Amino acid sequence: MFPEDVAREGIESRKTRWHKRLASGEGLVMIGFVGDRPLAMSWSVPSETRPEFAEIYSFYTHPDGWGSGVSAALMTSTLQQLRADGFDRVHLWTLRDTPQSRRFYTKVGFTETGATQTRDFGDGNPLPQVEYELAGQGGA
């Protein structure tokens, strides 16, 4: 999703950020496996901007997992756990210019809200995002 040079430049800061997140114990982190390979991950937290919602802050699948079902299975598990934690409503932001991720979120029941924002992933290059939500968790 990112140009190779951008991904390479930000890898150390991202690793540091993820180590801190995982060590903090904040939120829900789930990993999706195909066989013994971890190919997808999600990280969800209570939404800071929408108090009654959980926010899926990160949801990534390695290209080797695309089309394998690991993403849908991980989303189902993530939503089930969020529901068990008391969240019936979930939202997320995804890059505007990633049709594959947008199709996936729609397929698992999310709808686009019309809200937009830009986010800088640490490389000084803000990228446009669109918001999706799932109310009542009837989709996945």
Q: Could you state, in order of their start, the residue ranges of all structural domains in the chain?
A: 4-135
Nearest 10 degrees: Cα torsion 78, 84, 85, 88: 80
List alpha helices for the chain, DSSP H: 4-24, 70-84, 99-107
User: pTM for this structure?
Assistant: 0.81
| Per-residue pLDDT, 8 | 66
Quick: pLDDT tens for 24-56.
767 899 999 999 999 999 999 999 999 899 999
Quick: pLDDT tens for 112-129.
999 999 998 777 888 999
Choose which CATH entry (3.40.630.30, 3.40.50.720, 3.40.718.10, 3.40.50.300) describes domain 4-135.
Answer: 3.40.630.30
pLDDT beyond 70 at 140: no
pLDDT beyond 60 at 91: yes
Q: What tokens appear for 29 in the block?
A: 């982190």
- Under the banding of pLDDT at 50, 70 and 90, the label for residue 78 is very high
Helix, strand, or coil (residue 121): coil
| Per-residue pLDDT, 138 | 46
